[in-house]
Structure 1
């Protein structure tokens, strides 16, 4: 985690917590604010053919076209595809000049947490690749590892359609 505040064992970071709903259940997630460009209310996402299931579509963000992803599908938590018409909020993430949007159902807000509060051993989330997680907070929010997500080769879709 970069851009931490504080000294030594009392380092802290600011996170944005959000909720994703799936088949009647919901899960809280969090992203470090340092990677967030903006939380954006959106009117529509345009679906694209021939893209992986985790890509909901694309959107116009201040004159730039960026991909919108379903992080649950990307992480393998669900195989269900989000209907692009149901996306109303997007967290725009920026790292190394790569931007993408994460579709969310509800924004819970920002808060400072001490790094020591993040449980690194995520034994409650089994059968999933913890490579994409920083850990889990006391409030049971899964803190996403944006660096590893953004550097994943699945994020870059380079396919020719014939």
Structure 2
């Protein structure tokens, strides 16, 4: 009987954690634009670190870092969006994501906040072309007087299209 009680407690904790993350998005900034990523993918935010270059990777992969014994590839999101890379500053950081058992870090200009947005507040579109890459931005959310772009993490990380 005690075994079942423990299993039920673990399931309830998982549900509570999942509910807490539902409809929450991390806002990150690139230049003047605000982007959103589903908080469920975010594992941590760390300061910028020196990367080790890896040969024959796309230009937007800056290299890898050792994060507590785990080798993590680092993506410059500006380059992934085909926007000019800029020097880092004290607000530049790495957002560490985990999606489909892949852990990767995204270099962003700045992290702003975590916002609550319901699906009906997002205008999903397949016609959006932002930063020269269709489909990575899967929708827009208007919050107050600002528009934030919702990034499809799976397309950002797993797009099969070869970069030129």
Same-fold call, TM > 0.5?
yes
- Structure 2, gaps ≥5 residues long: 1-16
The alpha-carbon distance between structure 1 residues 124 and 94, as it changes in their structure 2 partners (threshold 3 A), is: closer
TM-score, reference length from structure 2:
0.71
Query: 1:9: which partner in 2?
Result: none
Query: 2:12: which partner in 1?
Result: none
Q: Within 2, Cα distance between the matches of 1:82 and 1:49? A: 22
Residue 20 (structure 1) aligned with residue 30 (structure 2): yes
Query: 1:159: which partner in 2?
Result: none
1:137 partner SS: strand
Query: 2:155: which partner in 1?
Result: 148
2:63 partner SS: strand
Q: Deviations over 1:28-61 (max 9, x none)?
A: 1110001111111233233344322111221111
Q: Deviations over 1:55-89 (max 9, x none)?
A: 1221111211111112232233x2x3455898941
Residue 54 (structure 1) aligned with residue 70 (structure 2): no
* Aligned partners of 1:70 and 1:82 also within 8 Å: no
The total of aligned residue pairs comes to 142
Residue from 95, 104, 108 that aligns with 2:99: 95
Task: Indicate the structure (1 or 2) with the bigger Cα radius of gyration.
Answer: 2
After TM superposition, the structure 1 stretch with the greater mean CA deviation from structure 2, 145-154 or 57-66, is 145-154
Query: 1:110: which partner in 2?
Result: 114
Shift of 1:126: 5.8
TM-score, reference length from structure 1:
0.72
Q: Which has the higher helix share?
A: 2
**Cα root mean square deviation, aligned:** 3.1
Q: Deviations over 1:71-114 (max 9, x none)?
A: 232233x2x34558989410111012111111011111101111
The alpha-carbon distance between structure 1 residues 46 and 81, as it changes in their structure 2 partners (threshold 3 A), is: farther
Q: Within 1, Cα distance between the matches of 2:130 and 2:156? A: 18
Q: Within 1, Cα distance between the matches of 2:89 and 2:112? A: 22
Shift of 1:154: 5.9
Higher RCO (CA 8 Å, separation ≥ 6 residues): 1
